[in-house]
Amino acid sequence: MNVTQASNLLLAEGQLASEPPVDLVKGSATPAATVQERIPAGDAPSVPEPYPLDRAFHAMLARFTGGISPLALSLAYLDWSSHLAAAPQRQLERTREIVRDTSRYFDAVAHAAAPGQNLWSVIKPQAQDRRFAGPLWQSPPFNLMAQSFLLGERWWHDAATGVRGVAPTNEAIVEFSGRQMLDMLAPSNFAASNPEVLQKALQSGGENFVLGWQNWCRDLMRMLSAGKSTGNEQFIVGKTVATSPGKVVYRNELIELIQYHPTTEKVRPEPILIVPAWIMKYYILDLSPRNSLVKYLTGEGFTVFAISWRNPNAPDRDVAFDDYRTSGVLAALDAIACILPRRKVHALGYCLGGTLLSIAAAAMARDGDNRLKTITMLAAQTDFTEAGELTLFINESQVSFLEDMMWERGYLDTTQMAGAFQLLRSNDLIWSRLSHNYLMGERAPPSDLMTWNADATRLPYRMHSEYLRKLFLSNDLAEGRYRVDGKSISLSDIHTPMFVVGTVRDHVAPWQSVYKIHYQVDADVTFLLTSGGHNAGIVAPPEEPGHSYQIMTKAADAPYVDRDEWLKLAPHAKGSWWQEWSRWLTARSGVLNEPPRMGFGNVDSLPDAPGDYVQT
């Protein structure tokens, strides 16, 4: 009996909503197979079991390295230093550059007080570097200290990159890790060399240091406490964020499916299913009412469903990546089919949820399952060869190290995932905040987005290992080796119209990588490149100023246009991509009709939105 048949049988008995297969929040008397028990025989992870004592040693070592493999780092530096040592001409050229820049720098020091002197005569910050953007950095000696630091950054970049013979991945690791160390030494990070901090101390009589100490103590107490306090306690799930009215209409051991109440008299016949990533809480798309995509969609006349993933613990160590497809996407589609029979679905996948949706769609297309009307992917990759700086944390040595760390706990802890993302933007997410909070003694105004960002999730051991190995390391999905139910799938089997969104400043899923969907699927692809980053670019309500985007559609039988050419050809527009997507969905939806019923069977035993799983 397949999932759909089981759903229909339970629906006929009036039990599916009121007696979920496994309720890990409230418990259930209904016997059912767990996720682990449903794993097909012979589908165990392909990674051979290493020696347990070695794994325990690596797990212990990971506590001191923050989850970074010291061997991976050492091998990268050995590769780079060995090739640089064997390149005497390159060494000579770099030495000449250092002598030349040093001479120019001391000349700037000697003439710093001269009238009309160009303040950034030696080197100036890049446009995206905001550390030295303030007017106080324009005067010596602070301007000179900033230039000295920027010269050091440039010297390191020139020395670490372009060395003939170094593997590109090792070169990237060396450059990135060295840059992180240099960023720690930026003059903006120290009170004595930061003119803005000194001015604040002079104006406040040193009160900023007292306030900064208090901020540090509060943050330390939050970090040591067992609770989930974020410092933004005014943003509470279900009260001030994730407040769109709705009902949990289906629950299993992995998901709660939320159906949102309609806010218009008539709705489009095709519902929308939101598949978020399980490395984040789903309510990134239902933040405050002013910036909730869910609220916007219901206001546009769509029936909206959203998956809320359960946060795994150690007993869920053997939950597989494919369980998220079967117990997640397919189970949600089966439940929607019980509420809206014979209706096709507009499916949306965000980040890793988009990758999962593409896998599910390819498998459905292969098997003749045509329940998807359209597919929307937000900042989601299907080819991982250009996955940005995140790939620096993913090589064979690093993945093995992470597996050993997860093997002991049964999951990847929230701190490792959050730490990796913060390192990708260390200037903005680490050092500038430390300076602002502890040296200036100020606090950034609380926001719903930052509260959501602090509400981290865990990742099961087996799922994360399969994800890293099959998708990142082997790139099986893009190269046609990814297997579902024992048979390979191909993205080229997808013929469903697609709306794909990339963001300009995405450090997690670079838009250049997201763009590759164009030559992977056999479908009409509307690609939209929006301003902002991985999260702020997606959460773009129409009322919020400053948003812009480019958009262009490629028909399935049209010739391929490369990324650089696309940037030249795609029309520019001001405003939110939400409105563009709503128009695209409306053009592919039926006429308005009466809203559907809320759930099926007896849903009284299940909670209202946002449900229970989001609270774990």
Same domain, 490 and 346: yes
Same domain, 351 and 496: yes
Domain count, the chain: 2
Same domain, 582 and 489: yes
Q: Tell me whether residue 527 is in a domain.
A: yes
Same domain, 267 and 178: no
Which amino acid is it at 372?
Answer: L
Name which of 15-29, 452-466, 482-496 the model is least confident about: 15-29
Same domain, 186 and 289: no
Q: Tell me whether residue 234 is in a domain.
A: no
**Selected residue with higher pLDDT from 218 and 499:** 499
410 contacts 537 by C-beta, under 8 angstroms: no
Same domain, 611 and 481: yes
Name which of 30-44, 68-82, 95-109 the model is least confident about: 30-44
Q: Which residues of 293-312 are buried (b: 16+ CB within 10 A; e: fewer)?
A: bbbbbbebbbbbbbbbbbbb
Q: Does residue 528 have a pLDDT over 90? A: yes
**334 Cα distance to chain centroid:** 27
Length of the chain, in residues = 616
Q: Tell me whether residue 495 is in a domain.
A: yes
pLDDT for 500: 98
Residue where a domain stops, chosen among 151, 185, 203: 203
Closest C-alpha among 108, 159, 194, 228 to residue 431: 194
Same domain, 191 and 263: no
- Mean per-residue pLDDT, 340-350: 97
Confidence class of residue 61 from pLDDT cuts 50, 70 and 90?
confident
Q: Tell me whether residue 561 is in a domain.
A: yes
Q: pLDDT tens across 137-178, in order?
A: 988 899 999 999 999 999 999 999 999 999 998 998 899 889
Q: Tell me whether residue 487 is in a domain.
A: yes
Q: Rounded CA gap, 575 and 332, in Å?
A: 32
**Per-residue CA distances from 458 to 7, 280, 616 (Å):** 29, 9, 10
Can you point out the beta strands (E) in 360-437?
A: 372-378, 411-412
Q: Tell me whether residue 441 is in a domain.
A: no
Q: Rounded CA gap, 210 and 198, in Å?
A: 14
Q: Does residue 65 have a pLDDT over 80? A: no
Q: Tell me whether residue 339 is in a domain.
A: yes
Same domain, 493 and 372: yes
């006429």: which residue's tokens?
591
Q: Tell me whether residue 312 is in a domain.
A: yes
Q: pLDDT tens across 370-409, in order?
A: 999 999 999 999 999 988 777 777 888 888 888 888 888 8
Same domain, 355 and 488: yes
pLDDT for 354: 98
Q: One of 277, 351, 394, 412 is an active-site residue; which one? A: 351
Which amino acid is it at 589?
Answer: S
Torsion, CA 14, CA 19, CA 22, CA 24, rounded to 10: 150
Q: pLDDT tens across 200-221, in order?
A: 999 999 999 999 999 999 888 8
Same domain, 350 and 491: yes
**Rounded mean pLDDT of the chain?**
87
407 contacts 401 by C-beta, under 8 angstroms: no
What is the span of the domain harbouring residue 513? 246-385+475-615
CATH number at residue 322: 3.40.50.1820
pLDDT for 419: 57
Can you point out the beta strands (E) in 351-452?
A: 372-378, 411-412
Same domain, 151 and 280: no
- Mean per-residue pLDDT, 3-26: 37
Same domain, 486 and 568: yes
pLDDT for 423: 61
Q: Work out whether strand 246-251 and strand 255-260 pair parallel, antiparallel, or are unpaired.
A: antiparallel
pLDDT for 50: 62
Q: What are phi and psi of 502, to 5 degrees?
A: -115, 160
pTM for the model: 0.85
* 3-state SS track over 241-307: ECCCCEEEEEECCCEEEEEECCCCCCECCCCEEEECCCCCCHHHHECCHHHEHHHHHHHCCCCEEEE
Q: Does residue 34 have a pLDDT over 70? A: no
Active site residue 351: yes
pLDDT for 298: 98
